[in-house]
Amino acid sequence: MFPWDGALKSVRSTDAYSKKDVETILRKATSLGLDVIPLVQTFGHLEWILKYEKFRRFRENDKYPQVICIGDQEAVKFVKEAVRQVAVVHKPFGLKYFHIGADEAFEVCY
Q: In this structure, is residue 66 part of a structural domain?
A: yes
- What residues make up the domain containing 39? 6-93
Q: In this structure, is residue 52 part of a structural domain?
A: yes
Q: Are 14 and 21 in contact (CB under 8 A)?
A: no
pLDDT for residue 82 is more than 90: yes
pLDDT for residue 105 is more than 90: no
Q: What is the average per-residue pLDDT within 72-82?
A: 94
Q: What is the average per-residue pLDDT within 76-102?
A: 95
Q: In this structure, is residue 62 part of a structural domain?
A: yes
Buried b or exposed e, range 66-103, using 16+ CB within 10 angstroms = bbbbbeeeebeebbebbbebbeebbeebebeeeeeeee
Q: Report the percent of the chain where pLDDT is more than 70.
A: 99
Q: In this structure, is residue 21 part of a structural domain?
A: yes
Indicate if the alpha-carbon torsion angle 87, 92, 97, 101 is positive or negative: negative
Domain count, the chain: 1
Q: In this structure, is residue 106 part of a structural domain?
A: no
Q: In this structure, is residue 100 part of a structural domain?
A: no
CA–CA dist 107, 60 (Å, integer): 6
Report, as residue numbers or ranges, the catalytic residues: 104
Q: In this structure, is residue 44 part of a structural domain?
A: yes
pLDDT for residue 45 is more than 70: yes
Task: Give pLDDT, residue 100.
Answer: 94
- Place 106 in a pLDDT band, splitting at 50, 70 and 90: confident
Q: In this structure, is residue 109 part of a structural domain?
A: no
